[in-house]
Amino acid sequence: MHPINVLPNVTLHAHGVVSEKFLQRGLKTFHDACCWTRDLPYGANSNSEDSLILFEEGCGTCTTKHGVIARLAQEHDLPIHKNLGFYRLNDDIVTGVNPILASYDLDFIPQIHCFLVYENCRVDLTDGNCNGKNKTIEDYDYVVQVEPDLSEAKHQACYLEYLQRYADSFPKLAALGETTVMEVLTACDRQLKFQCSIFVQELATAT
């Protein structure tokens, strides 16, 4: 991943609702907005379909953080886009996932992360956040550009489309079927949230 300063920087103007939200908070440039968004606490939002929710709730995930900055980029005609990256989730990334996978005789489960893309550069605004992951994800099997905000239905449809590609190469995934894979994914997501809570507790203790 690359730092925020690889992205083009412009002075913010009131070109739309997203720009106005950042300007109301005293942020003057695109980079200022990116840094502010990166520094928001990592946390699940009550609605992931509208990235403006992070202004109300004061936190965000990779979905809403990159969604809102991609919308800001659109309002300022910047060629910066939100992308979904499909990677292989296991204990290397989230501690405690391997026992879940072992129950299904799996070495990994396909998972999605998102980030910003500008030219050949990728920027992750959750890098350094207390997000439950052991490391920044650098290796992706598939990357696809998407709209800043996706409905849950479109997000799931995209996952299932690429799950089929994995299933074509990994018979164990194909044998499980979509319903079971989604159950495994849900269990892994619970483990991610658990790890995130541990990181938060450790950070609080350290300070």
pLDDT digits (tens, 9 = 90+) for 153-167: 999 999 999 999 999
> Which two three-digit tokens encode residue 203?
């950070």
* Residue whose structure tokens are 């996706």: 150
Instruction: Name residues whose C-beta falls within 8 Å of residue 199's C-beta, 6 or more positions apart in sequence.
Output: 130, 131, 132
> What CA–CA distance (Å, rounded) separates 38 from 32?
10
For 112-147, the pLDDT digits (tens) are 999 999 999 999 999 988 888 999 999 999 999 999
Q: What pLDDT is recorded for position 165?
A: 97
For 12-55, the pLDDT digits (tens) are 999 999 999 999 999 999 999 999 999 999 999 999 999 999 99
Q: What pLDDT is recorded for position 197?
A: 74
Q: What pLDDT is recorded for position 195?
A: 84
Q: What pLDDT is recorded for position 92?
A: 96
Confidence of residue 201 (pLDDT cuts 50, 70, 90): low
Q: Average pLDDT over the chain, rounded to whole? A: 94
* Residue whose structure tokens are 């942020």: 27
> What CA–CA distance (Å, rounded) separates 62 from 53?
13
> Which two three-digit tokens encode residue 66?
């990159």
What Å distances lie between residue 204 and 43, 108, 197, 199, CA to CA? Answer: 16, 31, 11, 9
For 66-93, the pLDDT digits (tens) are 999 999 999 999 999 999 999 999 999 9
Q: What pLDDT is recorded for position 97?
A: 96
Q: Structure pTM?
A: 0.92
Q: Which residue has the higher pLDDT, 87 or 197?
A: 87
Provide the 8-state DSSP code for 86: E
With a cut of 90, say whether residue 170 has pLDDT above it.
yes
> Which two three-digit tokens encode residue 34?
């990116």
Q: What pLDDT is recorded for position 175?
A: 96
> What CA–CA distance (Å, rounded) separates 104 from 181?
9
Whether the CB-CB separation of 23 and 16 falls below 8 Å is answered with no
Number of H helices, E strands in the chain: 7, 4
Q: What pLDDT is recorded for position 46?
A: 96
